[in-house]
Amino acid sequence: MGNPIQGARVWAEDLVSRHGWRTLLHAAVPALATLGVLVPPVLLARDFFWSVFALGAAAVTLTGRKDGVSHWTTAAGGAGAYFVFWALIALPGIGGADGLFLTAALAAAIGALSIHPDKRW
């Protein structure tokens, strides 16, 4: 057996070369937001509609995987809506695993928008 760290590095490099950082970051947004809402499920039980809003906003950011100004604008709208959720609901109770995942989702959304070839800022 080979070195597991080396194997993980090769796997990650292959994934990035096939899909690109932008696509991986956009795909990470809804995945991390889902983890933030569901682990632990306190946020889902306490703020159900805000949780649904956050997951919907995170899903909208997936449109940024394609090139074009309209795709970037739609993804930026989703990231902005997710930021509203993060600032109003997630930030006051930032401690814990849910805060980590929700903040990582926001960081991934901002990172994906910043490396989009048709960004408007």
DSSP, residue by residue, 42-90: HHHHHSHHHHHHHHHHHHHGGGGGS-SHHHHHHHHHHHHHHHHHIIIII
In terms of residue numbers, what domain contains 87? 20-114
pTM for this entry: 0.84
Contact call for residues 30 and 54 (beta carbons, < 8 A):
no
| 120 falls within a domain | no
Give the max Cα distance, the chain. 49
User: What are the pLDDT digits (tens) for 57-66?
Assistant: 999 999 988 8
- How many independent structural domains does the chain possess? 1
Asked if residue 76 is part of any domain, the answer here is yes
* 3-state secondary structure at position 117: coil
Q: Are 55 and 38 contacting, i.e. CB atoms less than 8 angstroms apart?
A: no
Give tens-digit pLDDT for 76-86: 999 999 999 99
